[in-house]
């Protein structure tokens, strides 16, 4: 946003969209990795007869709930601009930040 043209609404949105795409790609890779691990863990549970497999299912449910939370949270963030020109960048910034946070959580970097 510090480049020429990056300080207006269009420039901010272009920058935020590019960073969102970066984080979205990382999120998809982290999620795929977690799914693979969950499947392995579920197979081990079945093999050990120590429980029913449900780690993969739990992960899928968590991710779906996170998507709903992210979307609702970012709609709320946009609404704070009451239709002003800042609503677009605010919504994109929210999506980017929430996606980055979820990526780091799935990668194991974000402990809560």
pLDDT greater at residue 7 or residue 54: 54
Integer Cα distance of 69 and 14 in angstroms? 24
Residue 82: other Cβ atoms inside 10 A: 8
Rounded to the nearest 5 percent, the helix, strand and coil shares of the chain are: 75, 0, 25
| Sign of the four-CA dihedral 98, 101, 106, 112 | negative
pTM (2 d.p.): 0.85
pLDDT tens track for 44-64: 887 777 666 689 999 999 999
pLDDT band at 17 (very low <50, low <70, confident <90, very high): very high
pLDDT at 48: 75
Strands (E), 2-77: none
Instruction: Tell me the C-alpha distance between 4 and 15, whole Å.
Output: 12
């Amino acid at each position: 946003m510090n480049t020429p043209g990056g300080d207006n609404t269009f420039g901010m949105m272009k920058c935020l969209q590019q960073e969102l795409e970066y984080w979205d790609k990382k999120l998809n890779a982290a999620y795929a990795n977690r799914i693979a691990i969950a499947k392995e863990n579920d197979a081990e549970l079945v093999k050990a007869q120590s429980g029913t497999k449900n780690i993969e299912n739990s992960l899928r449910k968590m991710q779906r709930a996170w998507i709903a939370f992210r979307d609702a949270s970012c709609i709320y963030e946009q609404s704070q601009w009451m239709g002003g020109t800042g609503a677009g960048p605010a919504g994109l910034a929210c999506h980017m930040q929430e996606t980055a946070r979820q990526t780091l959580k799935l990668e194991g970097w974000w402990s809560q």
